[in-house]
Amino acid sequence: MIVLIQCVDKVGLVAAIASVMAAADCNIISMREHVDTTANLFFTRLVAKQNEDSAVLLQRLKSVLPSNAIVQINPDPEKKIILLVTKEHHCLGDILVRHHFNTLGSKLQCVIGNYDHLQDICQRFEVPFHFISHENIEKNEFESRILSLISEYNCDYLVLAKFMRILSPQFVAQFANRIINIHHSFLPAFVGASPYRQAWLRGVKLIGATAHFVNNDLDEGPIIEQQIIPVNHGYTADDMVKAGKEIEKAVLARALQMVFEDRVFVYNNKTVVFE
Amino acid sequence: MIVLIQCVDKVGLVAAIASVMAAADCNIISMREHVDTTANLFFTRLVAKQNEDSAVLLQRLKSVLPSNAIVQINPDPEKKIILLVTKEHHCLGDILVRHHFNTLGSKLQCVIGNYDHLQDICQRFEVPFHFISHENIEKNEFESRILSLISEYNCDYLVLAKFMRILSPQFVAQFANRIINIHHSFLPAFVGASPYRQAWLRGVKLIGATAHFVNNDLDEGPIIEQQIIPVNHGYTADDMVKAGKEIEKAVLARALQMVFEDRVFVYNNKTVVFE
Amino acid sequence: MIVLIQCVDKVGLVAAIASVMAAADCNIISMREHVDTTANLFFTRLVAKQNEDSAVLLQRLKSVLPSNAIVQINPDPEKKIILLVTKEHHCLGDILVRHHFNTLGSKLQCVIGNYDHLQDICQRFEVPFHFISHENIEKNEFESRILSLISEYNCDYLVLAKFMRILSPQFVAQFANRIINIHHSFLPAFVGASPYRQAWLRGVKLIGATAHFVNNDLDEGPIIEQQIIPVNHGYTADDMVKAGKEIEKAVLARALQMVFEDRVFVYNNKTVVFE
Amino acid sequence: MIVLIQCVDKVGLVAAIASVMAAADCNIISMREHVDTTANLFFTRLVAKQNEDSAVLLQRLKSVLPSNAIVQINPDPEKKIILLVTKEHHCLGDILVRHHFNTLGSKLQCVIGNYDHLQDICQRFEVPFHFISHENIEKNEFESRILSLISEYNCDYLVLAKFMRILSPQFVAQFANRIINIHHSFLPAFVGASPYRQAWLRGVKLIGATAHFVNNDLDEGPIIEQQIIPVNHGYTADDMVKAGKEIEKAVLARALQMVFEDRVFVYNNKTVVFE
């Protein structure tokens, strides 16, 4: 079983938690714990053998923790996700293959595209694709259509797999810490448009990608995962784009794995990732 | 305060440990825990605020743990170390500078060399250098002289900083899990002589280095740290040696940091490293 | 245009080659050159603007080069490849998606599997899949059936995308330097069976993968690409397998890109890769 | 011998250059060539056997190249360098050790510090240290004293080895593309003060360092080398500073090696680095 706890820090939390587990004969296989002493917050992730009913354990844990503690026992091991895409296929293709072979660690409910370019690949994997154009309509109407569609599904996370429209704060607010984006840069470098061209003009020797939760500031949410690859003067801006796609694909896959395995806590503008 | 515990695993260990800490008002700042379910062994490293006498805590912890538990409270934060070297200076130089500026995290007692090439650099940093030649004497006599010298110092760890003599099992047995070696390869690849030439002949695209504890099998002790760097066809065997020295220096420094910060547990032929 | 030359080294080769190019008004955009002074071999890869007929240039280049020079002008930009697979899908899935979106840089003619597990995914991408079981037949009969099938296609390279049968020297000899394998290890470490279990038992801190051409010694052909990822004590052998699949997929993709872009020369048991 | 050429690109440059080399019986061992097609600039670095007088070759090469070509034959293999430091020792210590063992690839003329903290370590290596305080004087006076001191030495490159004062455009202009800085960040991220605290607040998963030539815009000159290391939520801002020092040391060492081996060309705001 997996137990996740986030609460205000105080003396005795680990003892209290572990005692509840021991009293229920639930042997702890692995335990990760982190205290942000600046924020005075406590985070833990336990993997244990389950020898007691989850609801009973939840009750017992809450009784020994601060009143506003966030406790999760065995969060749904198969998150429901919806992808938003535009035209680029590299992240989508990777996710579709993983989903098809049951190695994604989540259930892909559907894909929503503001172009229809990626409909065919979704159909090949029997994943529903919905085309909602942003053209000739107001932004709030566009988002309203997307929200309406999402509401037809169960959805734990929205994944922006190279979705090239900026979502409004109103939209984002409905999915706090539940929208995951892959950003074409090593944030905070090269925020904004044409990052690879910016990188090429600057003659960088590395390019990277960042997977992060989305909040109201574009490109500014809590970072989940970052990786880079070396480049050199021989790379054109197009070569950097190509290399960038490889790293984007890898970073998003890693970030999703961390989230789907319930290894990520979010607070303030940061994450704790128990890898 | 730092608490290290290694013992047979059973239900309730974390609760027992954390309860002792809580009862003593020692708030746990960070806790890393690992169970090797195959070996049925439990490892933990706690960082906590200390509000109780160490001897009292040690007694209380032992009373709640399996009888053969290994418990350490506030292990000496400044390990005493002795370096064994031959002629190569890259690891020694790095360690001397860190020692000089108090960033090594340990006390360098002396350096022992089977050549006198590195005497000068040690003297510049006022670190005692002892020249013990291996020439014209039996191996056991050579080792006996080294042992005799070591016995004049307090010594927690021997660091083989490019020491090019193979130590006998009798010698190694006296320092179980207390000899750290930097190996010129990404173990277990290229065991034995001329690893960089082997690597060059093989046209590898990566070379690496491994820091490990020494046991009776040459090149075979528990691995502490490994890193690699990319190489290519343009590298001569000499270029690989040069690149290898950089990675050896970095890997040894990182391994020493982990050991000196009490982040490394050793068991069977493996390590647990709570980075 | 791309020009590839491999020949015995001597004074004046670059001048001779570049003069031919200049006389034909073919401006050189980029030039990579390598001399293996031990083997006395010269390698070059030119990218140039083409202002002359290829056959004419080939004739002129040969006239200024040693008699046994290997010269290629504009090698087929779309290699024909055939994949051999068993049951694992991670490399195949990645290649199928790239092929589907025309980013593989080659034409995937068909996939041959010694199990039928991967037939479905191939059909979804309209790539022919041929099931040739190795069961209940002699090895030479098994290979004979594969060869017969291959002969029905044009095929520049065979890619062993996790093909778990060992090919005979007789088979390999028919495709000298034209079989590419992805090996589940950072060669030459952990040659042979259950490499991830070996790695786990050894407590390694890195695992890697190697893409290489296949020759008669199992796991011993010329290396094209190698990469690693860090692991730690928290990884089970299964976790290492999972991480290993990610790196296998990435390494094979990179190696294929290098081969398909005509950046790889093979000689002796090594490669020159002009990245 | 080493030949470096930078000039406007045109058809026939490689042929012209290589023909001069061949006519002089100077066999080319390795040749790297790059054309920036946007800037219409040609760069090459040749390693060849020398069978002709350098002055003669220089004359012949210039006669076949565009009039404004920059040609260097056997640039001084031992650059003269001067270090500017403040209080941090990690880069200085590394450079002093390399210098001491003749592996730096340059001649360290002296060290100039605006504090006297690092005088002792320089004296241990018999490297002159000059203390020039910036306190209680105008900036132009401070720089004037530094310039006066530098003028007493031959100096090819100034290396800012954690020199924490911003140099004026007037100062920088006197050493165009001859000042090398190590920047405590993965440029262009976290420009300005307290970059590690910025990084910590942002919860980044990587930190990096950049070695670059200095021009008039702070933190904005041509990048020579960049590397990163992974970090996580367990790192305090201080831990990031500590990790950052390791990567700064490594990146500066690599950049200096590239510059001292004459592998770096600078133009516009970029570099070509023939690694």
Q: B198 vs C187, C237, D12, CA distance in Å?
A: 12, 29, 41
Phi, psi at A15, each rounded to 5°: -60, -45
Question: What's the CA gap between D176 and B77, in Å, rounded?
Answer: 48
Contact A248, A216 (CB under 8 A): no
CB pairs under 8 A between B and D: 36
Residues 6+ apart with CB under 8 A from C178: C156, C157, C158, C213
Question: What's the CA gap between D266 and C79, in Å, rounded?
Answer: 38
Residue to substitute from B28, B205, B228, interface A, most A β-carbons within 10 A: B28
Q: Hey, is the C-beta of A272 within 8 angstroms of any chain D C-beta?
A: yes
User: Which residue blocks in B25-153 are alpha helix, DSSP H?
Assistant: 54-64, 90-100, 119-124, 139-150
| The residue to which tokens 């170390």 are assigned | B81
Q: What letters, b where the CB count within 10 A reaches 16 and e where it falls short, cover C192-229?
A: eeebbebbbebbbbbbbbbbbbbbeeebbbbbbbbbbe
Beta-bridged to residue B180, according to DSSP, are: B159, B213
The CB density around residue D138, as the number of other CB atoms within 10 Å, is 9
CATH number given to D2-73: 3.30.70.260
Whether A129 shows a pLDDT value over 60: the answer reads: yes
Length of chain D: 275
Whether A63 shows a pLDDT value over 60: the answer reads: yes
Question: What's the CA gap between A63 and D182, in Å, rounded?
Answer: 53
DSSP label at residue B269 = T
Contact D3, D263 (CB under 8 A): no
Mind giving me the DSSP string for C66-110? -TT-EEEES--SSEEEEEEE-S--HHHHHHHHHHHTT-SSEEEEE
Q: How confident is the model at residue D221 (pLDDT cuts 50, 70, 90)?
A: confident
Contacting subunits of C (3+ beta carbon pairs below 8 A):
A, B, D
Neighboring chain C residues of D12 at a CB cutoff of 8 Å = 18, 21-22, 27
The CB density around residue C81, as the number of other CB atoms within 10 Å, is 28
Whether D110 shows a pLDDT value over 70: the answer reads: yes
Q: Hey, is the C-beta of B120 within 8 angstroms of any chain D C-beta?
A: no
Whether C136 shows a pLDDT value over 70: the answer reads: yes
DSSP label at residue D168 = P
Contact D33, C28 (CB under 8 A): yes
Mind giving me the DSSP string for C211-228? EEE--SSTT-S-EEEEEE
pTM of the model: 0.92
Question: What's the CA gap between C238 and C223, in Å, rounded?
Answer: 26
D231 CA: distance to closest CA in chain C (Å) = 13
Q: Hey, is the C-beta of D33 within 8 angstroms of any chain C C-beta?
A: yes
Per-residue model confidence as pLDDT tens digits over D137-174 = 999 999 999 999 999 999 999 999 999 999 999 999 99
Q: Which of A94, A156, A219, A262 is catalytic?
A: A219
| The residue to which tokens 């020579």 are assigned | D224
DSSP label at residue C202 = H
Report which of residues B185 and C165 the model is more confident about. C165
Contact A167, A143 (CB under 8 A): yes
Mean pLDDT of C49-53: 93
Q: Hey, is the C-beta of D39 within 8 angstroms of any chain C C-beta?
A: no
Pairwise CB contact (< 8 Å): A21 & B14: yes
**Residue B66: cis peptide before it, omega within 30 degrees of 0:** no
Contact A186, A158 (CB under 8 A): no
DSSP label at residue D269 = T
Neighboring chain A residues of C250 at a CB cutoff of 8 Å = 246, 250
The CB density around residue C109, as the number of other CB atoms within 10 Å, is 19
Residue to substitute from C29, C91, C124, interface A, most A β-carbons within 10 A: C124
Question: What's the CA gap between D246 and B257, in Å, rounded?
Answer: 12
pLDDT at B25: 94
Q: How confident is the model at residue A235 (pLDDT cuts 50, 70, 90)?
A: confident
The CB density around residue B84, as the number of other CB atoms within 10 Å, is 22
Q: How confident is the model at residue C104 (pLDDT cuts 50, 70, 90)?
A: very high
Q: Hey, is the C-beta of A68 within 8 angstroms of any chain B C-beta?
A: no
Per-residue model confidence as pLDDT tens digits over B147-172 = 999 999 999 999 999 999 999 999 99
Beta-bridged to residue A44, according to DSSP, are: A5, A33
Q: Is the confidence metric ipTM above 0.95 for this complex?
A: no
Mean pLDDT of C43-56: 94
Question: What's the CA gap between D141 and B1, in Å, rounded?
Answer: 50
Q: Which two tokens stand for residue C31?
A: 């030039």
Whether D213 shows a pLDDT value over 70: the answer reads: yes
Beta-bridged to residue D69, according to DSSP, are: none
Beta-bridged to residue B81, according to DSSP, are: B108, B157
Whether D187 shows a pLDDT value over 60: the answer reads: no
Q: How confident is the model at residue C151 (pLDDT cuts 50, 70, 90)?
A: very high
Question: What's the CA gap between A179 and A82, in Å, rounded?
Answer: 10
Half-sphere exposure of A18 (CA within 13 A, CB side): 27
Pairwise CB contact (< 8 Å): C93 & A89: no
User: Which fold, A79-273?
Assistant: Rossmann fold (3.40.50)
Neighboring chain D residues of C30 at a CB cutoff of 8 Å = 33-35
- Mean of the per-residue pLDDT values of chain C: 91
Q: B36 vs A19, B268, C201, CA distance in Å?
A: 21, 11, 12
Q: Compute the Cα dihedral for A49, A54, A57, A63 and give only its sign.
A: positive
The CB density around residue B169, as the number of other CB atoms within 10 Å, is 9
Give the chain C residue whose CA is nearest to the CA of B211. Answer: C205
- Mean of the per-residue pLDDT values of chain A: 91
Pairwise CB contact (< 8 Å): C208 & B205: no
Per-residue model confidence as pLDDT tens digits over C181-231 = 998 776 456 666 666 677 677 677 888 888 999 987 666 789 999 998 888
The least confident of B69-83, D141-155, D227-241 is D227-241
Secondary structure class of B219 (helix, strand, coil): coil
User: Which residues between 210 and 249 in chain A have a beta carbon less than 8 angstroms from any beta carbon of chain C?
Assistant: 234, 246
Report which of residues B189 and D76 the model is more confident about. D76
**Residue D188: cis peptide before it, omega within 30 degrees of 0:** yes
Q: Hey, is the C-beta of C25 within 8 angstroms of any chain D C-beta?
A: yes
Q: Domain locations in chain D?
A: 2-73, 79-273
Strand stretches in D122-205, DSSP E? 129-131, 157-160, 179-183
- Mean of the per-residue pLDDT values of chain B: 91
Neighboring chain B residues of D30 at a CB cutoff of 8 Å = 234
Residue type, A230: P
Per-residue model confidence as pLDDT tens digits over A156-199 = 999 999 999 999 999 999 999 999 999 877 655 665 666 667 76
Within its chain, how far is the Cα of D47 from the centroid? 21
Q: Which of B255, B166, B164, B165 is nearest to B212 (CA)?
A: B255
CB pairs under 8 A between A and D: 81
Pairwise CB contact (< 8 Å): A34 & B34: no
Contact C155, C80 (CB under 8 A): yes
Per-residue model confidence as pLDDT tens digits over B211-249 = 999 987 666 789 999 998 888 888 888 888 888 899 999
Contact D104, D95 (CB under 8 A): yes
Per-residue model confidence as pLDDT tens digits over C242-272 = 888 999 999 999 999 999 999 999 998 889 9
Mean pLDDT of B22-26: 94
| The residue to which tokens 């010329």 are assigned | C222
Question: What's the CA gap between A83 and C217, in Å, rounded?
Answer: 46
For chain A, give the secondary structure using H, E and C: CEEEEEEECCCCHHHHHHHHHHHCCCCEEEEEEEEECCCCEEEEEEEECCCCCHHHHHHHHHHHCCCCCEEEECCCCCEEEEEEECCCCHHHHHHHHHHHCCCCCEEEEEEEECCCCCHHHHHHCCCCEEECCCCCCCHHHHHHHHHHHHCCCCCCEEEECCCCCCCCHHHHHCCCCCEEEEECCCCCCCCCCCHHHHHHHHCCCEEEEEEEECCCCCCCCCEEEEEEEECCCCCCHHHHHHHHHHHHHHHHHHHHHHHHCCCEEEECCEEEECC
Question: What's the CA gap between D250 and B249, in Å, rounded?
Answer: 10
User: Phi-psi bin for C273: left (phi > 0), alpha (psi -120 to 50), beta?
Assistant: beta
pLDDT at C191: 60
Contact A64, A21 (CB under 8 A): no
Angle D219-D224-D228 (CA atoms, 0-180°, nearest 5)?
80
Residue to substitute from D8, D29, D33, D52, interface C, most C β-carbons within 10 A: D33
For B68, counting Cβ atoms within 10 Å of its Cβ (0-12 exposed, 13-18 middle, 19+ buried), the class is exposed
Question: What's the CA gap between C101 and D252, in Å, rounded?
Answer: 41
